[in-house]
Amino acid sequence: DAGITQSPRYKITETGRQVTLMCHQTWSHSYMFWYRQDLGHGLRLIYYSAAADITDKGEVPDGYVVSRSKTENFPLTLESATRSQTSVYFCASSEQGWGYTFGSGTRLTVV
């Protein structure tokens, strides 16, 4: 199906574990983004990518790693999960200036 898909939808992990959130888009949009949503903060940008093999930090990148070897995929890895990374994570894609299409989100709980 066309669109942007995030997996998993829900994830519970333990402190210190590595976890990867997946994001796949079928539009061949140049830009992809990862946001986290926390109460009182709205959505904050973690990392973004302008094209394959080009990534850059957003507002809150610490503790996260991204890669983009293919245009359609943009995984987000928490190298050593902490409780402060409990959040809802949204992936998005866009063409420049045209606004975003968001995935359905991944609710991550770190215990």
Partner 1 sequence: AQKVTQAQTEISVVEKEDVTLDCVYETRDTTYYLFWYKQPPSGELVFLIRRNSFDEQNEISGRYSWNFQKSTSSFNFTITASQVVDSAVYFCALITGTASKLTFGTGTRLQVTL
- Piece in contact with partner 1 (CB under 8 A), picked from 16-24, 60-68, 75-83, 93-101: 93-101
| 36 lines the binding site for partner 1 (CB under 8 A) | no
Taking the least distance from each CB to partner 1, the nearer of 26 and 104 is 104
**Number of residues in contact with partner 1, rule: CB under 8 A?**
25
Question: Which residue of 11, 20, 45, 61 would you call a contact of partner 1, by CB under 8 A?
Answer: 45
**CA pseudo-torsion sign 52, 53, 56, 58:** positive
19 is a site residue for partner 1 (CB under 8 A): no
